[in-house]
Structure formats: structure tokens, C-alpha cells
């Protein structure tokens, strides 16, 4: 998502007005029709699934065109199947999710009942990024529809073909009072973030996330921020180095590193760094024996992002890092906006690559002696969106789980925690606030209303004034430990 601006021009005020009209129509429709029944929600999920299946080939093509080249298999796996799975999951569990939750009742209030009823919030705003332009638009939409809401979507302008296809596709299956897609650049994004939604979800960078949160605060709009950060991979001294190299290489190079939960840098035991470098080189070469005209290896999405990643490499090299480029066929790939898998050794915190989220196929590698220094380093830096730990040592795994904080983590693998529908996905602190997916998406876009149901026969009136001995007795009972 492009950087938001706060300066309100006449054009931006008009933009606010146009978007507000869409929001008003959705809110009036929501209030007129009331919360949809489960059958209605399932029909909407079914309609969304049918659209995805119908347009899957067009989506694969449009995403690849937006990137310059994106692996069709990666798009099918990470975006198409990534959107189909949560629809099926929501349909299967929606009846249970919608059922009021009975809660325990205090003895002195019996025989009353306490329940939580999940109500749709109303109109949900979703601002999606460019790196997985379909999945990260549709996945939160699934949770919002399952919860019974109306939705306004703002996909990224950096993937215009995919964004237009999403708009056309959803217009075919939904009235714009149910789901509306808004296209445009930074001015539209800024106006969108100022709307008085009932909830706003933004996925993107931490700097823009701050701006979104400030804009939403003007209308007291609750926000869910799915951001990023520098997610570490930690290889334990006991773990099979080849397997760790395989899984870290896969996690780093999927979508050419343009993944918010990609391993951003890697800790390797001192004395094993050279062997690890050789193994990562071997794994990357096996996965991508050539880079040019290889449909499996994804291009960087835009010229400015290509230049940004190249600048990170050059800055690190100028400040003393050793650069190892993995280009098995020694090809020229800059004309395809591809960056070869690149390892950086001897990195320091003064290098930009260790200060910024990389979002590209570049992996800094840091040696360590003791696990404690890794834990201290992670805790001294902003909390990451993900953390990956490779170890079979129960004590070491417990230390990492308990003594570090990240949005989510995988033990002995990378990325795959995001595929588990019943695990919440989200960050903590600078890597985000709030989580969704599966049941957590349903509750994220619902209001958990507390309901106290008084029994026909009850003793509540016994505590009415004038107060006397019975009141004193009841107060003593309630104050007992």
C-alpha cells in the first residue's frame, strides 16, 4: 500500500464524499436487513467460492502480469487454495461459531443465565497489500462475511490487473451494498482510512500502519493491523543442518522473499556458518537451477522495490558484509526485475539490511555462541511477526517459546503456521495488533455482546432498600474468600 498522506485537498474531500456514499448505502442496508441468518451467510460464502473457482486461471495470469513473473504454482498454492480452504472451514464451523456461548453464573445470581451473543459489527473496511494481492484481500473478506457484515475493500494499486479483476469478479457475485471494491492510489487509500467503519483491517508495512491507525483514531474506529518486521530463523546446534537449510530456503524464496512472514535473517551456530551457506546454495540451486525465463522464480513487483533491495545489498557490502549471490547459470536477470538469491555474511546492525524489513530474496546470516545471546538480540529489537526455531532440544525449544515474543512461530519449519485455520494470525506491537483466520476472524469482525438472562423466579429484589440484616448477611457471604 502506498504511503498515506494527511493533507486534505478539494479532490481528497470529494474522494471522501464518494467513499462515504458507499459506506452509507452499506450501513443503511445492514440496518434495514438486520443480521443475516446462517443460511444467508453460507450462500455468500458459496457464491465467493464459485467465483474463485471460475476465475482461478484469470487470477493466476493477472498476478503474474502484475509482478512481471509470478510462479503459477505459487499463486495457486498461496493465493487460490489459500482462499478456498478458509471458505470451506467457515462453512463447516459457522453453526457452532454463531451459537451463543453459555457462561458460568455466580452462586448469588442463580438461577439467572449468562451468555455471549456474537453480532456482526456492520461495515468492515479492508485495505490489502500487493505481495499476495488476492489472498490478503479475500481471506479477511471471508471472516467478515461469515460474521454477517457488509464489506468495503481497497486492494493495492501496485497490482492493478489483479485489483481490477477482484473488483469485476466480486461485482458479478455481490451487490455493492454487500461487498464494494474501491480502486485507486495513495489519495484513495488515505480517504479510505479516514472512513467511520465499524472495524478497519490493514495489511502492509509498519510505517503506513501507524498512519492508518492515526487516521482511524479520528473516528474511534477499531483497527486490526497486520504488519511485518524482521522475522528471525534460529538454527540450533543439535538440528540437522541440511533440513534447516531446505526449509529456510523455501521460506525465504517463496514469492522471491516478498512475504511478510519470510525469514528475514538467520542465526547459525558459530563454526557451522560456512557449511550452512553451502547447503543453502545447494538447496537454492536445486529449487531454481536457472533464474532467467524460469516461471518458478518470481520477479520483484515494481522498479522502486527492485531498486530498494539492490540498495540494501550495496549498503551492506559497502559497510563490510560479504555478498554471496546464488545464480547457478550465471544469467543476467535484471531486465526481468529478478534478484538472485543472495546471502550476506558479517552483517552488523549499522547496515540498512539489518534495520529494515527486506521483503526480497536476501538472507543475512549471523553466527552465535550461546542461545542466550540470540534471545537477548531478538528481545532488544521490535517484536517480529514470525519466529522460526530449528531444534530437537526440549529445553531450548521451551526457552525460545517462553522468553521471546512474536506474532506466531514455527518449530522446525517456516511459514506453515499461517495455513492452520484455527490458529490466529497477527502480530504484536510494531508487527501488528489483533489477529484473524478461522474462528478468530469470525470473532474479530463480531461484537461479543454480554447477555444476562434473569430467571422468572429470582431473589434480586431481596437486595432492594431499605437495607437490613439480610443485606448485611449477603454482603458478608459475597466478601468471603
Active site residues: 226, 260
Task: Report yes or no: 342 and 314 within 8 Å, Cβ to Cβ.
Answer: no
361 in helix, strand or coil?
Answer: coil
Task: Report yes or no: 433 and 98 within 8 Å, Cβ to Cβ.
Answer: no
Short-list 101, 54, 45, CA closest to 80: 54
* Pairing state between β 101-103 and 113-120: antiparallel
Distance CA 375, CA 357 (A): 19
**Cell numbers 549498503: residue:** 315
First to last CA, the chain: 54
Any idea what DSSP says for residue 76? I
Counting beta carbons within 10 angstroms of the beta carbon of residue 107, is it exposed (0 to 12), middle (13 to 18) or buried (19 or more)? Answer: exposed
Short-list 277, 344, 272, CA closest to 315: 344
**CA angle in degrees (0–180, nearest 5) for 266-267-269:** 140
Sign of CA dihedral 428, 431, 436, 437: negative
Q: In angstroms, how far is CA 34 from the centroid of its own chain?
A: 29
Q: Which long-range contacts (CB under 8 A, 24 or more apart) does 306-311 make?
A: 306/337, 306/339, 308/360, 309/339, 309/358, 309/359, 309/360, 309/362, 310/339, 311/352
Distance CA 136, CA 139 (A): 6
Distance CA 127, CA 205 (A): 12
Any idea what DSSP says for residue 178? T
Beta pairing partners, 269: 368
As a whole number of Å, the CA-based R_g of the chain is: 25
Phi and psi (nearest 5°) for 264? -95, -30
Amino acid at each position: 500500500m502506498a504511503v498515506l498522506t494527511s493533507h486534505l485537498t478539494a479532490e481528497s474531500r470529494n474522494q471522501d464524499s464518494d467513499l462515504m456514499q458507499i459506506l452509507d448505502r452499506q450501513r443503511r442496508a445492514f440496518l434495514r436487513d438486520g443480521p443475516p441468518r446462517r443460511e444467508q451467510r453460507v450462500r455468500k460464502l458459496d457464491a465467493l467460492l464459485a467465483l474463485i473457482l471460475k476465475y482461478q486461471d484469470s487470477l493466476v495470469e493477472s498476478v503474474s502480469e502484475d509482478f512481471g513473473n509470478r510462479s503459477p504454482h505459487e499463486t495457486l498454492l498461496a493465493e487460490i487454495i489459500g482462499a478456498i480452504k478458509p471458505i470451506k472451514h467457515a462453512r463447516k464451523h459457522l453453526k457452532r461459531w454463531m451459537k451463543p456461548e453459555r457462561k458460568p453464573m455466580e452462586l448469588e445470581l442463580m438461577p439467572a443465565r449468562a451468555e455471549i451473543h456474537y453480532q456482526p459489527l456492520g461495515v468492515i473496511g479492508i485495505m490489502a497489500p500487493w505481495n499476495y494481492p488476492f489472498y490478503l484481500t479475500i481471506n479477511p473478506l471471508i471472516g467478515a462475511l461469515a460474521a454477517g457484515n457488509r464489506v468495503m475493500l481497497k486492494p493495492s494499486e501496485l497490482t492493478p490487473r489483479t485489483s481490477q479483476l477482484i473488483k469485476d469478479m466480486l461485482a458479478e457475485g455481490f451487490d455493492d451494498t454487500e461487498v464494494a471494491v474501491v480502486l485507486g492510489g495513495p489519495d484513495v487509500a488515505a480517504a479510505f482510512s479516514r472512513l467511520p467503519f465499524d472495524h478497519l483491517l490493514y495489511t502492509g508495512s509498519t510505517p503506513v500502519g501507524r498512519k492508518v491507525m492515526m487516521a482511524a483514531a479520528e473516528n474511534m474506529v477499531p483497527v486490526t493491523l497486520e504488519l511485518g518486521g524482521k522475522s528471525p530463523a534460529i538454527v540450533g546446534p543439535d538440528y540437522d543442518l541440511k533440513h534447516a537449510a531446505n526449509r529456510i530456503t523455501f521460506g525465504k524464496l517463496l514469492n522471491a522473499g516478498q512475504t511478510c512472514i519470510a525469514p528475514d535473517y538467520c542465526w547459525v551456530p558459530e563454526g557451522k556458518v560456512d557449511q550452512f551457506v553451502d547447503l543453502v546454495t545447494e538447496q537454492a540451486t536445486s529449487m531454481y537451477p536457472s533464474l532467467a525465463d524460469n516461471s518458478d522464480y518470481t520477479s520483484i513487483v515494481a522498479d522502486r522495490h527492485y531498486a530498494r533491495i539492490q540498495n540494501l545489498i550495496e549498503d551492506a557490502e559497502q559497510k563490510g558484509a560479504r555478498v554471496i549471490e546464488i545464480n547457478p547459470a550465471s544469467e543476467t536477470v535484471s531486465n526481468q526485475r529478478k534478484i538472485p538469491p543472495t546471502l550476506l555474511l558479517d552483517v552488523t546492525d549499522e547496515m540498512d539490511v539489518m534495520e529494515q524489513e527486506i521483503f526480497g530474496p536476501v538472507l543475512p546470516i549471523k553466527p552465535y555462541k550461546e542461545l542466550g545471546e540470540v534471545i537477548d538480540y531478538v528481545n532488544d529489537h521490535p517484536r517480529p511477526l514470525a519466529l522460526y526455531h530449528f531444534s530437537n532440544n526440549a529445553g531450548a525449544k521451551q526457552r525460545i517459546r517462553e522468553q521471546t515474543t512474536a506474532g506466531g512461530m514455527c518449530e522446525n519449519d517456516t511459514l506453515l503456521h499461517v495455513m492452520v485455520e484455527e490458529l490466529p494470525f497477527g502480530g504484536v506491537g510494531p508487527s501488528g495488533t489483533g489477529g484473524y483466520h478461522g474462528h478468530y476472524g469470525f470473532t474479530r469482525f463480531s461484537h461479543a455482546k454480554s447477555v444476562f438472562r434473569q430467571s422468572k423466579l429470582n431473589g434480586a429484589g431481596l437486595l432492594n432498600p431499605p437495607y437490613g440484616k439480610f443485606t448485611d448477611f449477603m454482603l458478608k457471604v459475597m466478601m468471603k474468600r
